[in-house]
Chains A and B, each alone.
Chain A
Amino acid sequence: MPDARHSLSARVIAGDTSALARVLTRVENGDEIGRAALERLYPQSGKAHLIGITGPPGAGKSTLVNEMIRAYRGRGAKVAVIAIDPSSPISGGATLGDRIRMTEWHADPEVFIRSMASRRFGGGLAQNALAVASVFDAAGFDPVIIETVGTGQDEVAIARLALTTLLVQVPGMGDSVQTLKAGALEIGDIIVIAKADRPGANELVRDLRRLQTLTFDEAIDTASWNPPVVKTSATTPFGIDDLIAAIEKHRDWLVASGEMDVRRRQNAATELASWIQFGLLRKVAGEGADSDRLLEQVERIFLRQSTPQAAAERLLNELRRAGG
Chain B
Amino acid sequence: MADQQSPRAEQRTEHRSIRILVAKPGLDGHDRGAKVLTRAFRDAGFEVIYTGLFQTAEMIASAALQEDVDVVGLSILSGAHMTLFPPIMAALKAVGREDVLVVAGGTIPEDDIPAVKAMGVAAVFGPGTPLQTAISFVRDNAPIRLDSA
| B43 CB–A CB distance under 8 Å | yes
Can you name the residue of chain B whose Cβ is closest to the Cβ of A97? B50
Interface locus among B10-18, B79-87, B106-114, B124-132: B10-18
Q: Looking at chain B's contact residues, is the secondary structure mostly helix, strand, loop, or mixed?
A: mixed
B39 touches A100 (CB 8 A): no
| B89 CB–A CB distance under 8 Å | no
| A106 CB–B CB distance under 8 Å | yes
A22–B95 CA distance with the chains assembled, in angstroms: 13
The answer, among A1, A31, A90, A97, for a CB contact under 8 Å with B14, is A31
B52 touches A100 (CB 8 A): yes
Write out the residue numbers on chain A whose beta carbons fall within 8 Å of the beta carbon of B67. Answer: 21, 96, 99, 114-115
Given A93-B44, A99-B67, A107-B58, check contact A115 B49 (CB 8 Å).
Answer: yes
B6 to chain A, nearest CB (A): 14
| A270 CB–B CB distance under 8 Å | no
B42 touches A91 (CB 8 A): yes
Using an 8 Å CB-CB cutoff, how does the interface string of B40-53 with A read, 1 for contact, 0 for none? 01111111111110
A21 touches B50 (CB 8 A): no
Write out the residue numbers on chain B whose beta carbons fall within 8 Å of the beta carbon of A117. Answer: 17, 47
Can you name the residue of chain B whose Cβ is closest to the Cβ of A94? B47
Can you name the residue of chain A whose Cβ is closest to the Cβ of B58? A106
B55 touches A103 (CB 8 A): yes
Interface locus among A32-40, A213-221, A249-257, A309-317: A32-40
A93 touches B16 (CB 8 A): no
Number of A-B contacts (CB under 8 A): 110
| B118 CB–A CB distance under 8 Å | no
Q: Looking at chain A's contact residues, is the secondary structure mostly helix, strand, loop, or mixed?
A: mixed
The answer, among B17, B65, B147, for a CB contact under 8 Å with A8, is B147
Write out the residue numbers on chain B whose beta carbons fall within 8 Å of the beta carbon of A37. Answer: 149
B39 touches A95 (CB 8 A): yes
Which residues in window 123-149 of B have CB below 8 A to A?
Answer: 145, 147-149
A209 to chain B, nearest CB (A): 37
B149 touches A7 (CB 8 A): yes
A18 touches B38 (CB 8 A): no
B148 touches A106 (CB 8 A): no
| A258 CB–B CB distance under 8 Å | no
A18 touches B96 (CB 8 A): yes
B41 touches A93 (CB 8 A): yes
A22 touches B147 (CB 8 A): yes
B51 touches A100 (CB 8 A): yes
B73 to chain A, nearest CB (A): 13
A21–B61 CA distance with the chains assembled, in angstroms: 13
Best-surrounded residue of A8, A36, A96 (most CB of chain B within 10 A):
A96
Given A103-B55, A107-B58, check contact A95 B50 (CB 8 Å).
Answer: yes
| B77 CB–A CB distance under 8 Å | no
Which residues in window 72-123 of B have CB below 8 A to A?
Answer: 95-96
Using an 8 Å CB-CB cutoff, how does the interface string of A104-131 with B read, 1 for contact, 0 for none? 0011000011110100000000000000
Residues of A within 8 A of B (CB): 1-2, 7-9, 17-18, 21-22, 24-26, 29, 31-33, 36-37, 87-88, 90-97, 99-100, 103, 106-107, 112-115, 117
Across the A-B interface, the 6 shortest Cβ-Cβ residue pairs: A106-B62, A93-B42, A21-B68, A36-B149, A106-B59, A93-B45
What are 8 sample pairs from A and B whose C-beta atoms fall under 8 A apart? Answer: A22-B68, A33-B148, A91-B44, A93-B17, A97-B52, A100-B50, A106-B56, A107-B62
Residues of B within 8 A of A (CB): 1-3, 14-17, 19, 38-39, 41-52, 55-56, 58-59, 61-63, 65-68, 95-96, 145, 147-149
